[in-house]
Structure 1
């Protein structure tokens, strides 16, 4: 079901009573989009992980490792690294649960 129509080049809600339903649909689409991004590199220039998040990080040299994002542009591991050294990251995959 389409909730919007275009007016002067902008999407507007056709029926204001359907606004909460449209917002729920948008949230589901955003969740699906986020799931599609799992396993894809996110450039540090685009956005950084949430604070205290463990991620897979790629250095400008091409090396890849697991690090923790400490906030303020700093990744922690054996040493601290800044976003000047790390060019991209991705969330860790779900742990293997076996059969």
Structure 2
């Protein structure tokens, strides 16, 4: 934003008068600097927003941007190419893989599944099965945290208490 005013300690001045762009407006009878400043002030006052409210809006906007970034980070896990790295030994992960599919396809086919690594290589098992023709795991990502039902999620709190007791015993 082009400022029409400047500040020096407690003084306010017309910025153009001191930076050399005034072109003698302040010294002729039209007083262009005052007119510009008054127009800008009127536009600001038309918004009916105080400086304090602007600072609050700016703070709120920054907070919401951070919250949105965190939300995206949690929801939007990225696929990790196998060429970059593979997961920890024995850790079950979501995989994007390719295998040769017979029948109508009779060509490589890509889909997703669940797999894990053994001795720093893929186990050969996807979705609990082996024997995939020309299996090639292309990328992977960690599985999300398992769903845990809470009283808020469950309309019947007695049913939830029974489930928790069942799983504890």
CA RMSD of aligned residues (A): 2.7
1:51 paired residue among 89, 101, 117:
89
Quick one: which of 58, 61, 68 aligns to 2:116?
68
- CA drift of 1:72 comes to 2.8
Work out the CA distance in 1 between the residues paired with 2:148 and 2:75. Answer: 21
The structure carrying a bigger strand percent of its residues is 1
TM-score normalised per structure 1: 0.53
Structure with the bigger RCO (C-alpha within 8 Å, sep 6+) is: 1
Query: Could you give the per-residue CA deviations for residues 69-95 of structure 1, whole angstroms, max 9, x where no partner exists?
Result: 2233223422177xx700000011000
Q: 5+ unaligned residues in a row in structure 2: which ranges?
A: 1-69, 99-108, 151-169
More helix by share: 2
C-alpha distance in structure 2 between counterparts of 1:58 and 1:89, whole Å: 6
Asked which structure has the greater CA Rg, the reply is 2
